[in-house]
Amino acid sequence: MAEKNTTTWAELKNQVYGEKGTERRDRLDREFKSFRIGLTLREAREKRHLTQDQLGEIINKKRSYISRVENDASNITLKTLYDIVEKGLGGKINIQIDL
């Protein structure tokens, strides 16, 4: 039986974007985290059966802004993130900093 040549996702990221700690890889990881935040916010909003318009009204933002945040949370301020999660969705934020 022939041996299969397989590459893990981590190996592929290292090959294409470089090792962790390189500028290109760190940028990819930050962008992915921003994407995950936006996706998490959208899932939480949908779980609470709110439209983007309704959430926007609660936190005094336009629907188009909520859409941008859900699709790419990279430019969201902490204040707005807290407003969305706590005021708009009734949740809590836990921030962890690893040094």
Quick: pLDDT tens for 16-54. Answer: 878 888 898 888 888 888 899 999 999 999 999 999 999
For the chain, give the mean pLDDT.
Answer: 90
CB neighbourhood size of 61 (10 A):
18
The rounded distance, in Å, linking the Cα atoms of 38 and 35 is 5
- Please name each of the domains of the chain with its CATH number: 13-88 (1.10.260.40)
Q: What is the pTM of this model?
A: 0.77
The token duo for 16 is 């294409």
End-to-end CA distance of the chain: 46
Write down the pLDDT at residue 17.
Answer: 79
Evaluate whether 26 touches 20 at the Cβ level (below 8 Å): yes
